[in-house]
Amino acid sequence: MSLVLENVDKIYGEGSRHPVHAVRTMNLDIADGEIIALLGSSGCGKTSTLRMVAGFETVSHGTINLAGRRIDTLPPARRGVAMAFEGYALYPPLTIAENIGFALRGERRDKAAVEQEVREVADLLEIGPILGRKPNGLSGGQQQRASLARALIRRADLHLLDEPMGQLEPQLRAVLRGRVKARIKERGYTAVLVTHDQGEANAMADRIAVMEAGVLQQFGSPADLRERPANLFVGTFFGEPPMNTLPGRATAQGFEALDEAGAVALRILAPLPPGIEPGRDVVLGLRPHRLHLGTGAFQGEVVSNQWLGDQAHVAIEAAGRMLIGIHPERFGARLGSTVPFGFDPADLHVFDKASGIALAHGAVS
């Protein structure tokens, strides 16, 4: 079902001497059947947002609507929301099977049917063999999958998954990402996934909401975030390895990248995009795979050169800055050697230096 957050704030200890403003004027509009990810570093307000939707935290200001019905004033049990908690929250006296089927048994469903469903979701998450065990003594990864199973088994209007796979080995995580996504999509569920792992957000979410310090930075598809980052924060946070950044200035001929002393280090000839006037202080952003090594108008010193098995990551020092380039093949340059490099000005992202807001994506638009 569609979920709409309108101007939602969370202030812990509001009115106390040390309030914590964890979520600030959050607006999100999530479509029925959509999977979205709340992505951001630790402490940025992801869990607080999720717990307000589930009803385990009060909303300080603003409203939350699910399927057109206001829910932030309702007790958790009446919101139609299933949640997998960051800390698992399993009942210690119950077996894993009983934990997973708990909500279904509460619905007085047929016992054999419940067992069948528990078995099925346990198989999906590779925890079939531990269904008879109790949570104590199980690994974090096993408890986490039991908690995820308990949420996924429910037919709820909304599924909230808080870092549901953080404890798993990378290989298992990669497999389960695909399975969990397929299950959510098959059933037409709407889901909010919380993660600090952009690979997970990319793999599972239709759209990603990037948060930082309690503030929503951008809400868009993975391609939007990559190709049209709304600001310098999203530009450098989203994408691996991170976007290269060069502080500089717009000129009548294009851009000048400046070194740390403020001297001109690179001149980039390109028509200025509309809305950027000569003299504007900017930060230029260039994705590592858009930096071409071994050819181009500029020179840099190779400071590291790593072959990752399918591509090379090469760090070069130029313009008094460190720039990372991705080369599709082994790059045969020794450390300390000087190599040419270049890029197409059309691949530059231009941000306002003072505000960080994106001014243009592609200097030639």
Positions in 10-49 near Mg ion (CB under 5 A) = 46-47
What is the rounded distance in angstroms from the CA atom of residue 285 to the CA atom of residue 242? 10
| Residues pairing with 327 in the sheet | 312
Please classify residue 74 by burial: count the beta carbons closer than 10 Å to its beta carbon, then call 0-12 exposed, 13-18 middle and 19+ buried: middle
Which of ligand ADP, Mg ion, none is residue 166 near (CB under 5 to 8 Å by kind)? none
From residue 3 to residue 42, what is the string marking binding to ligand ADP with x (rule CB under 6 A)? ---------x-------x-x-----------------x-x
What is the rounded distance in angstroms from the CA atom of residue 236 to the CA atom of residue 362? 16
In sequence order, the 6+-apart residues with CB closer than 8 A to the CB of 240 are 198, 199
Check residue 195 for interaction with ligand ADP (CB under 6 A): no
Nearer to Mg ion, 55 or 300 (CB): 55
Stretch that binds ligand ADP, among 45-53, 133-141, 152-160, 185-193 (CB under 6 A): 45-53
What is the rounded distance in angstroms from the CA atom of residue 40 to the CA atom of residue 216? 9
Check residue 190 for interaction with ligand ADP (CB under 6 A): no
Check residue 135 for interaction with ligand ADP (CB under 6 A): no
Nearer to ligand ADP, 45 or 300 (CB): 45
Give 273's DSSP letter. Answer: P
- Asked if 100 contacts 146 with a C-beta cutoff of 8 angstroms, the reply is yes
From residue 256 to residue 295, what is the string marking binding to ligand ADP with x (rule CB under 6 A)? ----------------------------------------
Check residue 56 for interaction with ligand ADP (CB under 6 A): no
What is the rounded distance in angstroms from the CA atom of residue 303 to the CA atom of residue 325? 12
Q: Where along the sequence are the contacts to Mg ion (CB under 5 A)?
A: 46-47
Q: Which residues bind ligand ADP (CB under 6 A)?
A: 12, 20, 22, 40, 42-48
